[in-house]
Amino acid sequence: MTSAPLVLRAAEIEPVERGVGVSTLPYVGRWNARGNVVTTGVTTFQPGTGAPLHIHNLEETILILDGEATAEIGADQFELGPGDAAWIPAGTPHRFANRGAAPLRFHWVYGGPDVTRTICATGETVEHLSIADRFTS
């Protein structure tokens, strides 16, 4: 059984604060869509902020909407801007950081409803968007 179609408006979505200078608008996920096979949202990194190196249990794609990103994916590093995208297979270490002077905003999609993040430095696994899923640098 699946949910009815959704129309989501950014102004009506409660942001999830992910740490100093990082916030997320959660769009589609198990919180609002039964039977979903993707989880989506938009995250904003203020200048000088980023995510720690981590892996997910599911594949992920990122589309840069605004700003300038440095992406570390596996052993490679990339500079990305608006319209650029990346696909990260499940279990691949990666991180994104804002390398510019303006906010970095990107749309993300995970290939399933039950998303986890494992921080590479600590091995700690947390549920995506949970209280424990906060960035510090």
**What pLDDT is stored for residue 95 in this prediction?**
97
**What pLDDT is stored for residue 20 in this prediction?**
83
**Digits of tens for pLDDT over the chain (137 positions)?**
788 999 999 999 999 999 889 999 999 999 999 999 999 999 999 999 999 999 999 999 999 999 999 999 999 999 999 999 999 999 999 999 999 999 999 999 999 999 999 999 999 999 999 999 987 65
pTM (two decimals) = 0.94
Both tokens assigned to 6? 């959704």
CB 95 within 8 A of CB 72: yes
**What pLDDT is stored for residue 105 in this prediction?**
98
Task: Give the span between the Cα atoms of 8 and 36, in whole angstroms.
Answer: 15
**What pLDDT is stored for residue 6 in this prediction?**
95
Q: How far is CA 83 from CA 17, 31, 109, 126, in A?
A: 25, 28, 15, 29
The angle subtended at Cα 68 by Cα 15 and Cα 107, nearest 5°, is 40
Domains and CATH numbers, the chain: 14-104 (2.60.120.10)
